Structure 1
Amino acid sequence: MHNPWKPRLVLAGAGLALITALCACSQPRTPLNAILPIPAEAELVGNDSCCECHEAPGEQFSHNVHSLLADFEYEANGIEARGCEACHGPASRHVETGNPNCILQFGKLDALQSSAICQSCHTAGDTMEWRHSIHAGQGLSCTDCHSIHSNTKGLLSKPQEELCLSCHQNVKAQLHLPNHHPVKEGKMSCNDCHNPHGSQTRPLLRTDERKSELCLTCHMDQAGPFAFEHAPVTEDCTICHSPHGSVADNLLKQNEPFLCLQCHELHFHTNFRPDMEKLARYAADGVAGAQTTLNTINNNGIDDKHAMQMAMMTRCSQCHPSVHGSDLPSLYTPGGGSRLTR
């Protein structure tokens, strides 16, 4: 039945999504004076005055990505100061008195204050959602992970794997299981799947859609489309797989057939006494395997003793190799005939 409201609902949903995206891209910036203890009477003095005393940090900063900023990049963010004072505030009082309290010291600022300084520039791209992220909600600041004066990639205070796993000990343990993504081998990093600065998804994933979309960016051979799709694949790969590591092969949460049996009941030919009348009807309809099974039972009888052994020691993928999807049904007759649907 035609629903006249459907087009309007689709347009309304699209409009709401657009408004949400625009709001997210234009976070209002809180004036730094409102949350930082900046001396009102201090004036700008320039980098040279800072480097007269702070030679080592000055040398580090000269090779830092922040030292390469152009004037228009400061002006685009409404920042009058340049270099050191862009983050530490006007330094004239500090230069005159030598009092460290007359300059902004990141070590004495709380997480909200120090992150606000960074976000006076970093409000787009990966850092756009920092204010609403899990890490910010846990009281972390930018300087907990970044060393601003350093010259390392991403200004990280430690290598990324070491940095992330220093807190996420459960993930560290999973990455040392027999099957794992090659993070500790250096072939990929946490940042390939996660955005540590914030995401609309709960585990900080680099996708706003279902989890499988992220997995399929690398595992494209499993993407399909297939005529017969395995529902968990299109819903969430982590239903069957543990992405950080597992004991079972292929990052499966459990070995076959036990993983499959959580959703799929055991087949009639492997674990219990079959319904002979139904089996005969399947054989008459040409269902693949039914006549062979019927002949085996008629010739050898029913082997109840070993039926459960067969069920529990056979991998489902021996008969169903295309577990992510296939253009063939699970049971089919190559020359035609009906499927096992009754």
Structure 2
Amino acid sequence: MKKHRNNRVVVGGISALLLAMLCACSQPGTQLDATIPQIADAQSVGSSACLDCHEELGQAFEHNIHNLLADFEYLANSMDNQGCESCHGPASQHIDEGDTEKILSFGSLNAAQASAICQNCHTEGETMEWNHSTHAAYGIGCTDCHTVHDDGANKAMLSKPEDELCYSCHQDVRAKMHMPNHHPVKEGKMGCSDCHNPHGSQTRPMLRTDERKNELCLTCHMDQSGPFAFEHAPVMEDCTICHNPHGTVADNLIKQSEPFLCLQCHELHFHTNFRPNTDALAEYAQYASDSDPAKAAIGNSAQAILNKITGSGIDDKHAMQMAMMTRCSQCHPSVHGSDLPSLYTPGGGSRLTR
């Protein structure tokens, strides 16, 4: 017995070590310094002075939303630095000396510093959670996804089409989106940002909801919202218990094909491929000649099932094999909820042989 206890201690220690290693590998990167550098003694000179050297950028920037801001749209602390200088800082020393270190160049700033400049203005709405987002924690900055000097043709100023931009990091999602069943992202009918807020949210993984994950799914799949008299517990808890929203091989985005998905929670029970209790059926079949119409209907149903079994050749040896080829939703089609118990199909014929 002592040897077994020691083995458990060793196994427990190895498990704890592996868990610690996994947690260490999954931690976000080192927090970057987000302090915006200051150009000492520099003065504002206006955007027109910048165009003397950066004419090409100025032409592209002419229709950019940042260049079209009215005076009242600037924050109070940015009133002295508008146009180019609202992001790059006062440019007098840079212009006088031609020193690239005397201007805020986004190429020389780290991701947190560059994002902090954007956060001077973008502090509300979808961007307000950026500092606490997963992207920021892993050292991703605004300019990794956005092209600030865009000519204005792209409303969000993304450096690539949205799905390609997300896929450049999320390669596992790209693979799932090419599976037989997937949300219509690659078909152009929806985008990643329809479900996710890339700038951060209070829910993981950056979903566009502050409520349960199900609330996001039900914005499109309203027919599954209920309320139902008989609710399927996993549906009420989390849609992703059964579904993978990015893509699956199985139909309807379910993680495994039926009946294997259902069997993870439900034990195998009677259905059309199992050999029923023929003695019980024979007992019900005696009602076929009863004067009571209700009993006679039950008797006729039982006799019909009994006749089918007799001529089908189904035996106990092959019952399990045949069961694995049957979808649970053939009898339980309302898997998200129903006003009928067990979410089964109305009619009651199969209930006789349970």
Q: How high is the TM-score relative to the length of structure 1?
A: 0.80
Structure 2 equivalent of residue 138 of structure 1: 138
8 Å Cα contact 1:226/1:326 also seen in 2: yes
Equivalent residue runs for 1:35-46 within 5 Å: 35-46=35-46
The structural deviation recorded for 1:277 is 8.5
* CA–CA separation in structure 2 for the residues paired with 1:332 and 1:214: 27
Indicate how the Cα distance of structure 1 residues 333 and 242 shifts in structure 2: closer, same or farther if over 3 A, else same.
closer
Cα shift readout 1:267-317 (whole Å, capped 9, x = no counterpart): 135677767888899999x9x999569846996797202311331111111
Aligned with 1:320 (options 323, 328, 332): 332
8 Å Cα contact 1:177/1:246 also seen in 2: yes
Q: Any stretches of 5+ residues in structure 1 without a counterpart? A: 1-33
* Aligned residue identity for 1:101: E
Indicate how the Cα distance of structure 1 residues 51 and 304 shifts in structure 2: closer, same or farther if over 3 A, else same.
same
Structure 2 equivalent of residue 219 of structure 1: 221
**Matched position secondary structure for 2:342:** coil
Q: Percent identity?
A: 70
Structure 2 equivalent of residue 72 of structure 1: 72
Equivalent residue runs for 1:160-309 within 5 Å: 160-269=162-271, 291=302, 295=306, 303-309=315-321
Structure 2 equivalent of residue 3 of structure 1: none
Indicate how the Cα distance of structure 1 residues 297 and 86 shifts in structure 2: closer, same or farther if over 3 A, else same.
same
Q: Any stretches of 5+ residues in structure 2 without a counterpart? A: 1-33, 288-294
The structural deviation recorded for 1:40 is 2.1
CA RMSD in angstroms, aligned pairs only: 3.1
Indicate how the Cα distance of structure 1 residues 280 and 105 shifts in structure 2: closer, same or farther if over 3 A, else same.
farther
* CA–CA separation in structure 1 for the residues paired with 2:276 and 2:70: 78
* Aligned residue identity for 1:320: H
Structure 1 equivalent of residue 55 of structure 2: 55
* CA–CA separation in structure 1 for the residues paired with 2:66 and 2:214: 37
Equivalent residue runs for 1:152-163 within 5 Å: 152-163=154-165
Indicate how the Cα distance of structure 1 residues 159 and 334 shifts in structure 2: closer, same or farther if over 3 A, else same.
closer
8 Å Cα contact 2:334/2:343 also seen in 1: no
Structure 1 equivalent of residue 341 of structure 2: 329
Moved over 3 A (4+): 75-79, 268-284, 288-302, 331-336
The answer to which of 164-173 and 93-102 deviates more is 93-102
Indicate how the Cα distance of structure 1 residues 241 and 282 shifts in structure 2: closer, same or farther if over 3 A, else same.
farther
The structural deviation recorded for 1:325 is 1.2
8 Å Cα contact 1:280/1:294 also seen in 2: no
Indicate how the Cα distance of structure 1 residues 156 and 239 shifts in structure 2: closer, same or farther if over 3 A, else same.
same
8 Å Cα contact 2:36/2:113 also seen in 1: yes
8 Å Cα contact 1:270/1:307 also seen in 2: no
**Matched position secondary structure for 1:185:** coil
Indicate how the Cα distance of structure 1 residues 302 and 171 shifts in structure 2: closer, same or farther if over 3 A, else same.
closer
8 Å Cα contact 1:194/1:204 also seen in 2: yes
The structural deviation recorded for 1:179 is 0.7
Cα shift readout 1:107-152 (whole Å, capped 9, x = no counterpart): 0001111111000000111100000100000001101111100022
Structure 2 equivalent of residue 113 of structure 1: 113
* Aligned residue identity for 1:258: F
* Aligned residue identity for 2:262: C
Which structure has the greater CA radius of gyration? 2
Cα shift readout 1:165-206 (whole Å, capped 9, x = no counterpart): 001000000001111111111111000000000011121111
* CA–CA separation in structure 2 for the residues paired with 1:273 and 1:110: 69
Q: How many residues align?
A: 305
